[in-house]
Amino acid sequence: LNVALLPNTAGCHSVREAVTTAHMARELFDTPWIKLEVIGHADTLQPDPFGLVEAARILTDDGFQVFPYCTEDLVLCERLVEAGCRVLMPWGAPIGTGLGLNNIYGLRSLRAHFPDLPLVIDAGLGLPSHAAQALEMGADAVLVNTAIAVADDPVNMAKAFRLLLVN
């Protein structure tokens, strides 16, 4: 069985931690893919935009395909693309909140500005309807964790997301 993995630098709060973690993941999983997180705020888990761009540049220069966890800020996303990112993973809302899409205008602006770049909504989705809304507004995919992990019935919640996304 051949399974593609997307290692993650979750929990990293500095460029150095993120870059080191990415290098370890590449060695361990033999993949150039890395979901890049550089956390700037411990409570909200908001990304550090400055550290994110710096780490993205270092890693793309080193041959990684970087999937950055970011906000919907257009300037930040332009810098990430300039740094070599070919996918953007903006949050819908802060990690684990389940609030859905907090800034629809910002996400739509991002989609309009980068019409051909894969856009994956990563974080803040709490319901299958949130995922549907993200896809309806032009996102290419969604990444869901907490909504399923903390659900009263995680198996049925996962099935609900799957049914939405497959149909």
Looking at residue 5, its pLDDT comes to 84
- Find the mean pLDDT for residues 1-23: 90
- Find the mean pLDDT for residues 157-167: 80
User: Looking at residue 88, what DSSP letter applies?
Assistant: B
Closest CA to 56 of 66, 48, 47: 66
Q: pTM higher than 0.95 for the full model? A: no
With a cut of 90, say whether residue 127 has pLDDT above it. Answer: no
Looking at residue 84, its pLDDT comes to 97
Neighbours of 18 (CB within 10 A): 28
With a cut of 60, say whether residue 145 has pLDDT above it. Answer: yes
Taken as a whole, the chain contains a residue count of: 167
Contacts of 78 (CB under 8 A, 6+ apart): 113
Residue 161's pLDDT band (cuts 50, 70, 90): confident
- How does the average pLDDT of the chain come out, rounded? 92
Looking at residue 43, its pLDDT comes to 87
Provide the sign of the torsion angle of the four alpha carbons 161, 10, 65, 92, taken in this order.
positive
Q: Catalytic residue positions?
A: 35
With a cut of 80, say whether residue 51 has pLDDT above it. Answer: yes
Closest CA to 21 of 50, 63, 59, 47: 59
Looking at residue 167, its pLDDT comes to 57
Looking at residue 166, its pLDDT comes to 65
